[in-house]
Amino acid sequence: MGINLWGIVYGTQVGYQIMKEQGFGHIINTSSAAGLGPSPISAAYSTTKHAVVGLTTSLHYEAEEFGIKVSTLCPTFVDTPIFDKATAINIDKSTMSKQMKKQKMISPQQLAKIAIAGVHKNKPIICPMPMRKTMDVVFTIFPSLHRALMRMVCKVSRKARLT
């Protein structure tokens, strides 16, 4: 909660006040695709990310009258060394590394380009992963299929839980 939520809240408060006084600016808060829908096996993480999406999308509309733009960046897997230091239960590090490499990752540079394009379009939510849109459709139109997929994710994730 400390960094994932309160870091965003405090940073937004400070930036928002400065931008309000100057009459312009653009706040970009980083959340995660986990903030846009269910994220099995990581309820605490998902809770903080949902809160960031809620705060930021609310401010997107609220801040408009002050000349301030606000966007939420919601990536999934970005190719950084974050998982190199992660530990897992019931799975060795090399297996975990192989599983993570199977994920469709984008580079930090690609993410930055997508974020900048989203800022130029003043998007309230910038989500660079096409799979996210597919999951939104499945979640909305085929809820029972979505539940089945989430159960499968739970089952697989429990065997290789990241800590």
pLDDT tens-digit readout, 108-149? 999 999 999 999 999 999 988 766 667 667 777 878 887 887
Catalytic positions, written as ranges: 45
What predicted TM-score, i.e. pTM, was given to this entire model? 0.79
What was the pLDDT predicted at 19? 98
Instruction: Please check the confidence at residue 90 and state whether its pLDDT lies above 70.
Output: no
Pick the more confident residue, 4 or 152: 4
What was the pLDDT predicted at 106? 87
pLDDT tens column, 21-73: 999 999 999 999 888 887 777 889 999 999 999 999 999 999 999 999 999 99
Average pLDDT for 9-29: 98
Q: In terms of DSSP bridges, do strands 161-162 and 88-89 run parallel, antiparallel, or are they unpaired?
A: antiparallel
| Residue 73: domain span | 2-162
Question: What total number of domains does the chain contain?
Answer: 1
Distance of alpha carbon 71 from alpha carbon 122, whole angstroms: 7
Q: Which two tokens stand for residue 109?
A: 């540079």
Distance of alpha carbon 135 from alpha carbon 25, whole angstroms: 32
The CATH number that applies at residue 80 is 3.40.50.720
